[in-house]
Structure 1
Amino acid sequence: MNNNEKLTLDNRFLQVARRAAIIAKTTDPWIRWHAYLTKWTEEACFAIQELMQAMPMPLPATALDVATGTGTPVIDLATTLPQCLFEACDIAAESIEIARLLAQEERLSNISFKVCAAEVLDYPDDSFDLLTCFFSLMYLKDRSMAIDQFLRVLRPGGYMVITTWVSENQLFRLVKDTFAMEDHKYPDGKDPFMFSDSQTLKALFKDKPVGNLFVKSRKTVLNWEGNEQELWAFFKDCNPIINTLLSKLSADQRKEREQHIYSLLSGFKTGGNILFEADMLVCLAQKKSLPH
């Protein structure tokens, strides 16, 4: 191994160690969500690539991924579209730091990251040919304002693609049945499945300057690389309603329910990973061109 190769290996080790340290100390469960559910957005990236082939849309020269989290989806896209210059933003500085490290590990030079909110995008008007937002719209504080911002930074004729989860995926159904859970809203009122049907999603674009608006459903598989206990601990962390339900049980009841969960999760194991199906919606909208 020559000195340059050793330096590269040392730098890569430092990046991985730094990313692991950030994840270990963070109090943000969403960072662990993005870090440990590998390739969970892969189908969404495939869907975008298929849309590009099916629609009369040229390959984008510039693209923006909003609420990028730790960057997994935009890194997949930047790898697939090396000729495109990507920007990505998120309100969480810790997530952006991890995203930068991941992009460095992949040696991607066509992607840049910035900390900013979806409702106040720090980019000039008419900057991007493509805008993506993966599984984040339901958590934004002001979704109408965010859509206005998406359209502001898109060039006339540019496309945005938004993906959302459909309710009743296999994992959530398993938990709801186990705990007789009637509501999946978080204590703060956020609903991860608020855009589970096409009409609700399309309603966001009422009176907005968009055309070629359509929504399609697509199946995906979420892949957990770990054991049942780790997945359950993570799922409780990311879904506050679960701990609320558990707190109402006696110690014996809680232990019994959680053992039942472990048993059910083991039925989803394939090759050491836990796989469960989920449906998503893929929404495409084109910014209307200015009249001549």
Structure 2
Amino acid sequence: MNQELEIIRDQQQEVWNKFSAGWKKWDTLTMDFLKPVGDEMIRLLNPKGNDMVLDIASGTGEPGLTIASMLTNGKVTLTDLSADMLEIARENGADRGIKNIETIVCDVCELPFEDHTFDVISCRFGFMFFPDMLLAIKEMARVLKPGGRIVTAVWNIPEKNFWVTASMGVIRKNMDIPVPPPEAPGMFRCAEAGMMSDLFKQAGLTNISEKEVAGKMNCGTTDTYWNLMTDVAAPVVAALSKADQATKNKIKAEVYETINQKYADGDVVIDSSAIVIYAEK
């Protein structure tokens, strides 16, 4: 990677380490929210007893830990830029009695593995943030065995992910936030239909498929939604850190109003949409 992309990577590493405590705090809610995507990824991968599995951008451990629990003699290598996130993954694995895992802090664009090491690769909600997505998928393809399976998930378009836009829409209305270029890392960078399939093709992968998977963020209350987003959503926290107190108060009030109007019955269960992409080598 060039120096500019390395700077982005290092900034991301700092951010994910910083937010690890929030992810640990909200792990039950967020993993329940992301479970339908993980379930579809696992269904497509169909992990087998002796598979050697690489889980990239593992965060607090899923879907890698669930895959590990399905193997008899196989192993899952959990990787992430953030050592603090992987520490939570190890704790979660230990709590569930899962022993066939290892954790390695590394950059997806410079994977520290030999060619043809893994039978299966999974990567849930990592691609949107990789500084060089083509280099990342080429590295994944390099370490995947011939005939191996790979699956990833990215967020769909903003219009289908109100859980993000409810906050960021209000923030953008109240603050002058620069719009990043389309190719810059971000939540919806991979939302265009066929974009990920094209990347996979460029890496020499075959039997590529894309599927939309719906999910629900079950916050229950507007308070829970606001507290969650201001603990774990990096773009929200970054924007609010630059606002004065009056602007923060106004944004919070308007987010509450936006959520309460949509969920007038007080039951805040917010729809989401992701794209799951599968391929083989």
Query: Normalising by structure 2, what TM-score?
Result: 0.77
Q: RMSD between aligned alpha carbons?
A: 3.4
User: CA separation in 1, counterparts of 2:132 and 2:205?
Assistant: 19
**Residue correspondence of structure 1 range 91-170 to structure 2 within 5 A:** 91-168=81-158, 169-170=161-162
Instruction: Evaluate the alpha carbon distance shift between residue 136 and residue 268 of structure 1 in structure 2; reply closer, same or farther with a 3 A threshold.
Output: farther
Question: How many residues are paired up?
Answer: 256
More helix by share: 2
Q: What is the alpha-carbon distance in structure 1 between the residues aligned to residue 17 and residue 119 of structure 2? A: 35
Residues 73, 125 of structure 1: alpha-carbon distance in 2 compared, 3 angstrom cutoff: same
Q: 1:193 to 1:95 in 2, by over 3 A?
A: same
Match for residue 258 of structure 1 among 252, 256, 261: 252
- 2:5 is matched with none
The CA distance in 2 between the partners of 1:235 and 1:87, in whole Å, is 24
Aligned equivalent of 1:72: 62
- Structure 1 Cα separation of the partners of residues 25 and 135 of structure 2: 28
Q: Residues 266, 79 of structure 1: CA spacing in aligned structure 2 closer, same or farther, 3 A cutoff?
A: farther
CA-to-aligned-CA distance 1:161-209 (integer Å, 9 cap, x gap) = 0100112201223235434659895699432111002321122124322
The amino acid of 2:231's aligned partner reads: F
Corresponding residue number in structure 1 for 2:41: 48
CA distance in 1: counterparts of 2:170 and 2:269, whole angstroms: 19
Counterpart of 2:198?
203
Letter of the 1:172 partner, please give it. V
Which residue of the partner structure matches residue 3 of structure 1?
none
Counterpart in 2 of 1:227? 224
Higher RCO (C-alpha under 8 Å, 6+ residues apart): 2
Task: Indicate the percent of aligned positions where both proteins have the same amino acid.
Answer: 22
> d(CA) in 1 for partners of 2:272 and 2:23?
15
- 5+ long unaligned stretches in structure 1: 1-25, 288-292
Residue 173 (str. 1) matches residue 160 (str. 2): no
Change (3 A) 1:94 1:38: same
The answer on whether the counterparts of 1:268 and 1:276 sit within 8 Å (CA) in structure 2 is no
1:224-257 superposed Cα distances (whole Å, 9 cap, x missing partner): 487244124226644356427x73x782x54233
* Structure 2 gap ranges (5+): 1-15
SS of residue matched to 1:28? helix
Tell me by how many angstroms 1:99 deviates: 1.1
